[in-house]
A and B are shown apart, each in its own frame.
Chain A
Amino acid sequence: MPILEVSDLQVTMGPQQILRGVNLKVEQNGIVAVMGSNGVGKTTLMRAISNIYQISGGDIIFERDSISNLGADKVVKMGVCQAPEGRQIFANMSVEENLVLGAYHQDKSHFNEDLEWVFELFPILKERLKQQAGAMSGGEQQMLCIGRALMGRPKLLLMDEPSLGLAPLVVKSIFDLVVKIRDAGTAILIVEQNAKAALCVADYGYIMEGGAIILEGPSEELAKDDRLTAAYMGGHAHA
């Protein structure tokens, strides 16, 4: 029984159809990666799951229930939190306020416990707690972005391009933490251009092109596929 099942998902913006029937599944406790180059609809897919965009067809099932028309706030309440593309942190507010906002729908009683968990993953945030979020480095902002999503006690964590604009070392440390977050019991759907990094941590992968899934399979198999490496992952040049 998958925790998330997206079937025949379609999203239209004005005259353009961005998603042309996407099917994918995330298993309980799984890490699933969606890969593809710029502009194939990966972020649109993530936004549709979070109900930021309205879908025009298909369905999104989370734990047996359809969440495709709930509204962004309800989806977060149900336990689907996203670390979005471009981070979208509250730059003028303190790191602490960002984390409090991440826990907006959560009971106060487990706030400290959740905060400790975020500090365990990202110790730097504890030092920066009173600092303005926008004044931090890109890597730290990415950590805050993930930390904020974790404060919402996600059952499913959506991560949109966590490696974007970060140094390779930082990327590695973030992907190490992805595994740790999964091991703590959160399923993860990750969208990446950096396919090599994503396939290292994911158990299953999907390749997207032109608004649809064109190939899928367990990570080891996808990683070995030379045609895909050449076509969608920019060869071996990428770290």
Chain B
Amino acid sequence: MDTYFLMQLINGLSVGMIYALIAIGFTLIFGVLNVVNFAHGEMYTIGAFAGLVCINMIHAPLAIIIVAALVAGGLSGIGLERIAFKPFRRFQDEASLKSRAMREATLLSSLAVSIIIKEVIQHFFGAEMQTIPGQYMLNNPIQVGPLSLSSGQFLILGSSILMLGGLQYVLYHTRIGLSIRAISNNPLGAKYVGLSVDKTIISTFAVGSMLGGAAGIMVGLYYGAIFPTMGFTPSIKAFVAMVMGGLSSIPGAVICSLILGVCESLATNYLTQGWSDMVAYSFLIVTLIFFPQGIFGSRRERV
């Protein structure tokens, strides 16, 4: 195995981890509400801009910047839920919970919020790439044997693994995690045991959007690219990973994100950068044709 290949592999894994952080947000929200949140990519953008504001205003250390992105992501997630999702949940009976009308309404309302957020950010910051002070960029070279890697790759891999661990802890060892899983499994049953569906939905949005926001600032500092529409491409990739993973399976979404990241990264050996985006879309088409349930979605009970 040559060193170039190995480097691309590591690069692919860190890109994949970013997709995974975004895809988890999609997956959690889909699990609880059975709808796709089209404004999820904007949580990523908001995280990046919140971090940037911290850098420019208070020259905060990296850890604080990431925390700021997490908080900003979480808060915007809550706001997004109140504005784009809650108003369409007025009717609580079984028929409306399953109805497609509600799903289609929130598709459009979340898309609308997504456009508004993009425009607002553009209004205040401008459409061009933001300048990031050099000392904050995460591309200090790190030499590991023959491999030349960068600090950003380590940061992304390390903190993503940490966050995935944290998520796992929240889902399996806390009350709120228990209610998130219960509602994903059976929303009506959850009402009968007295779970507060509304609170759980809000916390799901908060958790998912926090991960998205953190992903945004890390990518921004690694690639040095923070701009209002930065959330679009990664969220499409994450969406593909979520579909490949079977829509509501978190391990599925993470594994497919990593596969996607690695394949894209290796494809740059053979294709130009622009064409490597084709990898994700081809995966999506192949998955939809041959595995309509997703690769990890066969055990899904819900229709």
Contacts and interface: CB of A to CB of B under 8 A. Distances in A.
A111 interface: no
Contacts of B188: 52, 84, 88
Contact of A89 (B181, B186, B195, B196): B186
B178 A72 contact: no
Chain A CB within 10 Å — which of B175, B185, B188, B193 has the most? B193
A221 to B, nearest CB: 33
A108 to B, nearest CB: 11
Chain A CB within 10 Å — which of B179, B181, B192 has the most? B192
Interface in A50-96: 50, 52-54, 71-77, 81-82, 84, 88-93
A75 B194 contact: yes
Interface size class of B (residues with CB under 8 A): 20 to 34
B194 A105 contact: yes
Contacts of A102: 193
Contact of A91 (B175, B185, B196): B185
A10 to B, nearest CB: 15
Given A75-B194, A104-B194, A134-B301, A88 B92 contact: no
Contacts of B299: 92
A203 B301 CA distance: 40
B192 A82 contact: yes
B187 to A, nearest CB: 9
A97 B301 contact: no
Contact of B194 (A13, A54, A73, A91): A73
Contacts, number: 77
Q: Interface majority SS on B: helix, strand, loop or mixed? A: helix
Given A91-B185, A93-B185, A100 B192 contact: no
Interface residues of A, number: 31
B65 interface: no
A54 B92 contact: yes
Contact of A76 (B179, B186, B189, B194): B194
Given A97-B178, A101-B178, A89 B189 contact: yes
B195 A73 contact: yes
A92 B301 contact: yes
A132 to B, nearest CB: 10
Given A52-B191, A90-B186, 20 more contacts: A50-B191, A53-B92, A73-B194, A73-B196, A74-B194, A76-B192, A84-B188, A89-B186, A90-B182, A90-B185, A90-B189, A91-B185, A97-B182, A100-B178, A101-B190, A104-B178, A104-B193, A105-B194, A134-B301, A148-B193
